Amino acid sequence: MHPRGKKFRQIQLKDNGGLSGATSQATATRDENNTSLFITNLPPNCTVTHLLASIRGCGKIYSAGIVRPTLSHATAAAKLIFFDKEGAKKFYELSGAKQWKVNDHLPIVVPNRVPTQSQPDTSNSRVIGIWGPKDVINRDYLEGKVFSTFYYHLTKIIVHYEEDDFRIMEFHFGSFHKQAESAMERIRSFIETPNLTEGERALWVKVTAIYLSDPCA
Residue 11 CA: distances (Å) to CA of 133, 156, 175, 208: 18, 7, 19, 21
Residue 141 one-letter amino acid: Y
Domain range holding 187? Answer: 9-14+122-212
Please tell me whether residues 195 and 149 are part of one structural domain: yes
Contact indicator for 115, 80 with CB cutoff of 8 Å:
no
Please tell me whether residues 107 and 133 are part of one structural domain: no
pTM of the full predicted structure? Answer: 0.87
In-domain check, residue 136: yes
| pLDDT single digits (tens) 133-156 | 999 999 999 999 999 999 999 999
pLDDT band at 28 (very low <50, low <70, confident <90, very high): very low
In-domain check, residue 163: yes
- pLDDT tops 90 at residue 192: yes
| Nearest by Cα to 85 from 37, 27, 45, 24 | 37
Quote the number of domains for the chain: 2
Q: What is the pLDDT of residue 72?
A: 87
Please tell me whether residues 143 and 166 are part of one structural domain: yes
Please tell me whether residues 203 and 127 are part of one structural domain: yes
In-domain check, residue 30: no
Contact indicator for 24, 38 with CB cutoff of 8 Å:
yes
Please tell me whether residues 202 and 151 are part of one structural domain: yes
Q: Which residue has the higher pLDDT, 1 or 123?
A: 123
Question: Considering 60, 79, 111, which residue would you say is the last residue of a domain?
Answer: 111
Please tell me whether residues 151 and 97 are part of one structural domain: no
- Residue-level length of the chain: 217
Please tell me whether residues 202 and 147 are part of one structural domain: yes
Quick one: DSSP state of residue 174?
Answer: S
Contact indicator for 216, 128 with CB cutoff of 8 Å:
no
User: Could you tell me how far CA 76 lies from the centroid of its own chain?
Assistant: 19
Percentages of the chain per state (helix, strand, coil), in multiples of 5: 25, 30, 50
Question: Considering 111, 132, 153, which residue would you say is the last residue of a domain?
Answer: 111
pLDDT band at 59 (very low <50, low <70, confident <90, very high): very high
Alpha helices (runs of H) in the chain, residue ranges in sequence order: 48-53, 85-96, 139-141, 181-189, 198-204
In-domain check, residue 104: yes
Q: Any idea of the CA torsion for 194, 196, 197, 201, to the nearest 10 degrees?
A: -110
pLDDT band at 184 (very low <50, low <70, confident <90, very high): very high
Percent of the residues in the chain that have a pLDDT greater than 90, as a whole number: 79
Provide the CATH number for the domain around residue 142.
3.30.70.330
pLDDT band at 31 (very low <50, low <70, confident <90, very high): confident
Q: What is the pLDDT of residue 8?
A: 56
| Nearest by Cα to 73 from 113, 35, 38 | 38
In-domain check, residue 31: no
| pLDDT single digits (tens) 82-99 | 999 999 999 999 999 999
Q: Which residues contact 163 (CB under 8 A, 6 or more apart)?
A: 4
Distance CA 37, CA 92 (A): 8
